[in-house]
Chain A
Amino acid sequence: DTAVSQTPKYLVTQMGNDKSIKCEQNLGHDTMYWYKQDSKKFLKIMFSYNNKELIINETVPNRFSPKSPDKAHLNLHINSLELGDSAVYFCASSQGQANEKLFFGSGTQLSVL
């Protein structure tokens, strides 16, 4: 079984649309993250949740809204998609906030046309 799974793997959509990416982890971790990796492979954290509570919220446009219905899930909803949102989005989880061993999903490649 995949430890951190995110869907869809590929997402192609037009500007202005609203889309969601789902993430689930079956590791029993209490902390989950969303990272964005741009075309130059630069990886930057967007959000971090611990026990369903928002812990880290980096300078991300408010078009991006994470939702954590329970500890095992952290979904990412994006409104009014823009060309610059095209990237690979990675979900990750860890046990505890200060645990640097992150387990990553395989990524969602978002292409905004």
Chain B
Amino acid sequence: AQSVTQLDSQVPVFEEAPVELRCNYSSSVSVYLFWYVQYPNQGLQLLLKYLSGSTLVKGINGFEAEFNKSQTSFHLRKPSVHISDTAEYFCAVRRGASGNTPLVFGKGTRLSVIA
């Protein structure tokens, strides 16, 4: 079975400060990894994904994440956050490329950017 652990349920950070949202996964086979963002009263939007190749993945809105196989982690980072980054962030994993294996989401991390 695969699972996703987001270690922090809430992360407050001052505007223009850097942020890292942590995500660890467990799976006995190769996985595909994703970060989604949910703004208030909206559905989720894809931020970035890792399927293969370079372990450093760049996404929208200045976010990036690094796949670390030895540490089974896929932490999300941004060097300087804005107020508009305040949202819920979800890490997700899928085992392999088959459509019959659903995306499994973590419990989310609430990022609050303080002016």
Residue positions of A touching B, CB distance < 8 A? 4, 31, 40-45, 48, 50, 55-56, 58, 90, 92, 96-98, 100-107
Contacts and interface: CB of A to CB of B under 8 A. Distances in A.
Indicate the size class of the contact surface on chain B: 20 to 34
B38 to A, nearest CB: 8
Nearest to A94: B99
Contacts of B34: 100
B90 interface: yes
B100 A56 contact: yes
Contacts of B28: none
Interface stretch (B15-23, B39-47, B76-84): B39-47
Contacts of B90: 43
Contact of A42 (B46, B49, B99, B107): B107
A44 B43 contact: no
A104 B46 CA distance: 10
A10 to B, nearest CB: 11
A56 B100 CA distance: 6
Given A41-B88, A100-B49, A100-B94, A106 B42 contact: yes
B44 A104 contact: yes
Contacts of A100: 32, 34, 46, 49, 51, 92, 94, 103
Given A40-B107, A41-B108, A105 B99 contact: no
Given A92-B43, A105-B43, A56 B102 contact: yes
A41 B107 contact: yes
A30 to B, nearest CB: 10
Contacts of A55: 99-100
Contacts of B46: 100-102
B70 interface: no
A42 B41 CA distance: 15
Contacts of A31: 99
A43 B34 CA distance: 14
